[in-house]
Amino acid sequence: MSGGKRMRKPVAAKPARKARAKAVAKPAEPAMDVAVGRRIRDLRRVRQFSLETVAARTDLSIGFLSQIERGLSSPSLRVLATLADVLGVGIAALFGASPSSDGSSDQVVTRGLQRPELKLWRTGVSKQLLSPASADNKLNLFLVHLEPGGSTGDELYTHDGEEAGLVLEGEMMLTVDSRTWSLKTGDSFRFASRRPHRFSNPAQDAKAVVLWVNCVTGA
């Protein structure tokens, strides 16, 4: 049109992008928690213990125990030690396959690439079982890895047996009763597990590795 403003051709509106209705997925529970919970449940059933019985003997709530068995809660080493005591086994029984009714095993050797591992990912502590896994083992050998700042917690705990170890790498703080020691590479220890204890890695930039022996002395 002369003398007038050129009319702009209407631009077709772009189709609105569909909002991505991407639900925020709840993080999957770690497979380790599920596996440990299943082993605890199987051990409890083999011994024909109800949740109520285990709760009464451990001072843990039925709800918390149920969450552990379903893999919805990651138990601390202190809680696992308490449960192992009540179930009449060492912590090593929580590593392997589901226990049989008699817990028997004739395995002698554990290959380096076949070590069962119990990773307590919330606390920075992991334990590799070096000896063959069996619910009836009295003596068990572990390789314990402590991430920087990793710890069993502020609370002292006890369980059946005796334990000893050798620091292979890094530094570990060990508390038994009211005394605390700083152990470095080459240092070793031994104490009765019924004495209140805890341990941690004080370093913030280096992990600690400890060769650890647990011996269950109860029936």
Q: What pLDDT was estimated at residue 89?
A: 87
Q: What is the pLDDT of residues 191-209, one digit of tens each?
A: 999 999 999 999 999 999 9
DSSP string, 139-151: EEEEEEEE-TT-B
**What pTM, to 2 d.p., does this model score?**
0.75
Selected residue with higher pLDDT from 215 and 20: 215
Query: Structure tokens of 70?
Result: 């379903």
Across 27-31, 52-56, 122-126, 151-155, least confident range: 27-31
CATH 2.60.120.10 fits 31-215, yes or no: yes
Across 24-33, 101-110, 112-121, 199-208, least confident range: 24-33
Please state whether 157 falls in left (phi above 0), alpha (psi between -120 and 50) or beta: beta
Across 14-23, 105-114, 170-179, least confident range: 14-23
Residue range 53-77: mean pLDDT, rounded: 93
In 50-87, which positions are buried (b, 16+ CB within 10 angstroms) versus exposed (e)?
A: ebeebbeebebeeeebebbbebebbbbbbbbbbbbbbb
Q: What is the pLDDT of residues 114-160, one digit of tens each?
A: 888 888 888 999 999 998 877 677 899 999 999 999 999 999 999 99
Q: What pLDDT was estimated at residue 32?
A: 80
Q: pLDDT category, 7, cuts 50, 70, 90?
A: low
Contacts of 41 (CB under 8 A, 6+ apart): 69
Locate the domains of the chain by residue range: 31-215
Distances (CA, A) of 1 to 9, 10, 11, 70, 134: 13, 17, 20, 77, 94
Q: What is the DSSP letter of 109?
A: -
**Rounded Cα–Cα distance for residues 209 and 219 (Å):** 30
Q: Is it the case that residue 20 has pLDDT exceeding 50? A: no
Selected residue with higher pLDDT from 12 and 120: 120
